[in-house]
Structure 1
Amino acid sequence: MATGTIRYWAAAKDAAGTAEEPFEAATLEELLAGATAGRERLARVVGMSSFLVDGDPVGKRAHGQVALSDGATVEVLPPFAGG
Structure 2
Amino acid sequence: MKIRYFAGAAEAAGREEQQIDDSLTLGILRQRLAEQHGAEFTRVLARCAVLVDGERLGDDARVPDTATVDVLPPFAGG
TM-score using structure 1 length: 0.83
Displacement of 1:22: 1.2
Q: Figure out how many residues of one structure are paired with residues of the other and give that number.
A: 76
CA distances 1:58-81 after superposition (whole Å, capped 9, x unpaired): 3xx3x1x12111211111111111
1:1-83 correspondence runs (5 A): 4-23=1-20, 24-37=22-35, 39-58=38-57, 61=58, 63=59, 65-83=60-78
SS of equivalent residue, structure 1 residue 31:
helix
CA RMSD of aligned residues (A): 1.3
Structure 1 stretches of at least 4 aligned residues deviating more than 6 Å after TM superposition: none
Q: Which amino acid aligns with 1:36?
A: A
Displacement of 1:28: 0.8
Quote the sequence identity (%): 39
CA distance in 2, matches of 1:25, 1:67: 7
> Structure 2 stretches of 5 or more lacking a match?
none
CA distance in 1, matches of 2:48, 2:63: 18
TM-score using structure 2 length: 0.88
